[in-house]
Amino acid sequence: MKSRTRIPTTPLLMILPSFLLAMSIIGYPILDLAWTSMQEVSRFGKMMGFVGLVNFAEVFRDPLFYSSLVRTVIWTVAVVGGTLIISLPIAIMLNDDFYGRGLARVIVMLPWAISLTMTAVLWRWSLNGRAGLINATLMDFHIITEPIEWLATAPLAFTVEILVGILVSIPFTTTIFLGGLSSLPQDSYEAAVVDGAKPWELFRYITLPLMKPFINIAIVLNVIYVFNSLPIIWVMTEGGPANGTDILVTYLYKLAFRFGQLGKASAISLIMFSVLFVFTIAYVLMVMRQEHDSADEEVKHDA
Partner 1 sequence: MTPKLKKSLLYWLLLSPLCVVILLPFGIMFVTALRPRDELFVYPPTWTFSEFRWENFAEMWVKTNFGGALLNSLYVSLTSTIIAIVLSIPAAYALSRYRFSGKGLYRNFLLMTQMMSPIVLVLGLFRLMVHLNLVNSLNSLVVTYVAFNMAFTIWMLQSYFNTIPRELEEASWIDGATSFTSLVKIFLPLAVPAMVVTAIFTFINSWNEFVLALTLIRSQNDYTLPVQIFSQVAGRYQVEWHHVMAATVLATVPVAIVFSWLQRYLIRGMALGAVK
Peptide bond into 29 cis (omega under 30): no
Instruction: State the nearest-atom distance from the C-beta of 249 to partner 1, in Å.
Output: 5
Window contacting partner 1 (CB under 8 A); options: 25-33, 186-194, 195-203, 204-212: 25-33
Instruction: State the nearest-atom distance from the C-beta of 27 to partner 1, in Å.
Output: 9
Window contacting partner 1 (CB under 8 A); options: 65-73, 192-200, 204-212, 255-263: 255-263
Site string for partner 1, 128-167 (x = CB under 8 A): x-xxxxxxxx-xx------x-------------------x
**Footprint of partner 1 on 65-84 (CB under 8 A):** none
Q: State the Cα–Cα distance between residues 260 and 156, nearest whole angstrom.
A: 30
Put residue 240 in one of left, alpha, beta given phi > 0 → left and psi -120 to 50 → alpha: beta
| Dihedral angle over CA of 106, 111, 113, 117, nearest 10 | 170
**Could you say which of 1, 3, 5, 113 contacts partner 1 (CB under 8 A)?**
113
The nearer residue to partner 1, 51 or 167, going by C-beta atoms, is 167
Q: Is 241 in the site for partner 1 (CB under 8 A)?
A: no
The nearer residue to partner 1, 71 or 132, going by C-beta atoms, is 132
Q: Is 237 in the site for partner 1 (CB under 8 A)?
A: no
The nearer residue to partner 1, 97 or 187, going by C-beta atoms, is 97
Burial 102-116 (b: 16+ CB within 10 A, else e): eeebeebeebeeeeb
Give, as one character, the DSSP assignment of residue 197.
-
Q: State the Cα–Cα distance between residues 154 and 82, nearest whole angstrom.
A: 20
Positive or negative torsion for Cα 19, 25, 26, 31: positive
Instruction: State the nearest-atom distance from the C-beta of 146 to partner 1, in Å.
Output: 9
Q: Is 17 in the site for partner 1 (CB under 8 A)?
A: yes
**Could you say which of 59, 178, 219, 233 contacts partner 1 (CB under 8 A)?**
178
Q: State the Cα–Cα distance between residues 91 and 48, nearest whole angstrom.
A: 55
Q: State the Cα–Cα distance between residues 229 and 218, nearest whole angstrom.
A: 16
Report the alpha-carbon angle 60-62-66, nearest 5.
75
In angstroms and rounded to an integer, the radius of gyration of the C-alpha atoms of the chain is 24
Window contacting partner 1 (CB under 8 A); options: 48-56, 68-76, 175-183, 192-200: 175-183
**Closest residue by Cα to residue 266 from 69, 47, 74:** 47
Contact 134, 127 (CB under 8 A): yes
**Footprint of partner 1 on 197-236 (CB under 8 A):** 214, 217, 221, 224-225, 228, 230-231, 235
The nearer residue to partner 1, 154 or 232, going by C-beta atoms, is 232
**Could you say which of 57, 107, 193, 295 contacts partner 1 (CB under 8 A)?**
107
**Footprint of partner 1 on 34-53 (CB under 8 A):** 36, 45
Cα distance between the two ends of the chain: 43
